[in-house]
């Protein structure tokens, strides 16, 4: 075990995150694309995303406790290996039977179950490997979320390249291979992890998992940020998962959609890298306000579906504004939550990303099919702007600045 400062374990962890995110963000584009290709309906895309989010939503507290008990490194490896196998069910099912939306949803649910926890485990591991590398949490999270954005930027571009060349079903072989590269890098990580000590509640896994909600209740700075992120996720994410796929599918242009999502994610990477710089001149609360309002102000002109070059330009702005938000949330969690319980809190963060959109995705799909892409996009932009103003003006925003390092 390494005792002196070394960036090696941190680098391995970030490489694992990068390839895991490339694989995951390819699915982010491929699943809705396949659903619309099968049915021609945006509602089907919304239903697919919503239903496949249910397992991760319901299992998140339990997955978090498993991370804390099993270990963050080991959990990440197992999750990536099983997720890759689950991804292979798509071409297998298409080869054995005629692919239908119910069959696609069934396979998506299986994949969602085994995929739960991988990203949460790697996030919870960051303080351990950052300490070994001798870098601050702000810097570590800035790098980590930049890697997240880079992986998220690369995935849609890779998917947009693979779909027209290999076909939508064979693209899932590429997705699996990239995910297993992630598992390979995590196998190289060597780190001492602080785990939850044995106590009576561990005999009841559900009760042990529910401790995550109690921890959240004792850390208002984390709770306030999660409320803001949930409102944004619930309203905005249908844009990328329903509205844009329907629009670009209608003009048969997956490459342009992939480029737009990649451009947004690329600027998210830039914004994440600058997070540490922002915190030198702004409080945590003001960084959060900048992110919320920046996303909203950028989305409004995008909702008018301007010429493609303008759409890309505003996408750059939106991505840049989004960038500081994830490393800020991660930093606050890692400062306030003890290492032995971090897995459960990060899993609750995943509940936010899954729970809100699970409700809004089908609604957005129905709106697109009944009102059209343009009107639905306007409604989403107006709601995002309203939500951003409401959250950023809350008197509880000051709680974000009270985050101190947990023992």
N residues, the chain: 407
Tokens of 32: 């809705």
Asked if 354 and 63 touch (Cβ cutoff 8 Å), the reply is: no
Across the chain, what does the average pLDDT equal? 79
- DSSP helix/strand/coil, 240: helix
pTM greater than the 0.75 cutoff: no
Residue predicted with more confidence, 400 or 80: 80
Confidence of residue 398 (pLDDT cuts 50, 70, 90): confident
CA distance 58 to 282: 37
Instruction: Name residue, tokens 């591991």.
Output: 125
Per-residue pLDDT at 337 exceeds 80: no
CA triple 50-44-98, angle to 5 deg: 110
Euclidean distance between CA atoms 340 and 211, whole angstroms: 12
Rounded distance between C-alpha atoms, residue 100 and residue 168, angstroms:
14
Residue 204, pLDDT above cutoff 80: no
Q: How far apart are CA 391 and CA 147, in angstroms?
A: 27
* 69-94 tens-digit pLDDT: 777 788 888 888 888 888 888 888 88
Domain ranges across the chain? 8-189+209-401
Dihedral angle sign, alpha carbons of residues 353, 358, 359, 365:
positive
What number of other Cβ atoms are within 10 A of residue 407's Cβ? Answer: 5
HSE-CB at 22 with a 13 A cutoff on CA atoms is 24
Can you say whether residue 135 is alpha, beta or left, with left for phi > 0 and alpha for psi between -120 and 50 degrees? beta
Residue 305: which H helix or E strand, with range?
none
Tell me which range, 65-74, 343-352, 367-376, is most confidently predicted by mean pLDDT. 367-376
Of 54, 112, 123, nearest to 357 by C-alpha is: 54
Just give the CATH number of 8-189+209-401: 1.20.1250.20
Query: How far, in Å, CA of 232 to CA of 328, rounded?
Result: 15
Do the Cβ atoms of 315 and 260 come closer than 8 Å? Answer: yes
Average of pLDDT values for 129-142? 82
Tokens at residue 166, please? 């290999």
Query: What mean pLDDT comes out for the span 280-292?
Result: 86
Angle separating helix axes 220-238 and 342-371, nearest 10 degrees: 30
């Amino acid at each position: 075990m390494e005792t002196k400062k070394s960036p090696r374990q941190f680098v391995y962890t970030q490489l694992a995150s990068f390839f895991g995110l490339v694989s995951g963000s390819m699915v982010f584009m491929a699943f809705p694309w396949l659903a619309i290709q099968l049915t021609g309906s945006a509602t089907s895309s919304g239903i697919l995303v919503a239903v496949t989010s249910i397992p991760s939503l319901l299992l998140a507290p339990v997955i978090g406790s498993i991370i804390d008990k099993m270990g963050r490194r080991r959990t990440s490896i197992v999750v990536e290996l099983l997720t890759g196998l689950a991804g292979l069910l798509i071409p297998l099912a298409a080869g054995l039977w005629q692919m239908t939306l119910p069959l696609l949803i069934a396979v998506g649910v299986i994949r969602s179950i085994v995929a739960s926890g991988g990203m949460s485990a790697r996030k919870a591991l960051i303080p351990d490997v950052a300490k070994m590398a001798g870098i601050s949490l702000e810097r570590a999270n800035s790098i980590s979320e930049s890697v997240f954005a880079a992986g998220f930027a690369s995935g849609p571009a890779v998917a947009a390249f693979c779909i027209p060349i290999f076909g939508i079903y064979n693209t899932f072989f590429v997705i699996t291979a990239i995910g297993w590269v992630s598992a390979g890098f995590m196998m190289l990580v060597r780190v001492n992890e602080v785990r939850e000590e044995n106590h009576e509640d561990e005999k009841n896994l559900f009760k042990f998992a529910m401790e995550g909600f109690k921890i959240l209740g004792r850390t208002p700075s984390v709770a306030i940020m999660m409320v803001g992120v949930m409102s944004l996720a619930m309203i905005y994410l249908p844009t990328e998962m329903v509205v844009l796929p329907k629009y670009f599918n209608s003009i048969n242009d997956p490459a342009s959609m992939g480029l737009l999502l990649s451009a947004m994610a690329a600027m998210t990477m830039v914004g994440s890298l600058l997070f540490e710089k922002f915190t030198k001149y702004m409080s945590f609360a003001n960084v959060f306000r900048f992110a919320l309002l920046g996303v909203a102000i950028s989305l409004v002109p995008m909702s008018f579906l301007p010429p493609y070059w303008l759409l890309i330009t505003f996408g750059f702005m939106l991505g840049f504004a989004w960038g500081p938000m994830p490393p800020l949330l991660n930093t606050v969690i890692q400062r306030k939550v003890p290492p032995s319980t971090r897995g459960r809190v990060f899993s609750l963060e995943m509940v936010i990303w899954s729970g809100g959109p699970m409700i809004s995705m089908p609604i957005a799909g129905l709106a697109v099919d009944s009102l059209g892409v343009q009107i639905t996009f306007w409604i989403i932009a107006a709601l995002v702007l309203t939500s951003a103003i409401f959250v950023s003006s809350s008197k509880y925003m000051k709680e974000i600045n009270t985050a101190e390092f947990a023992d």
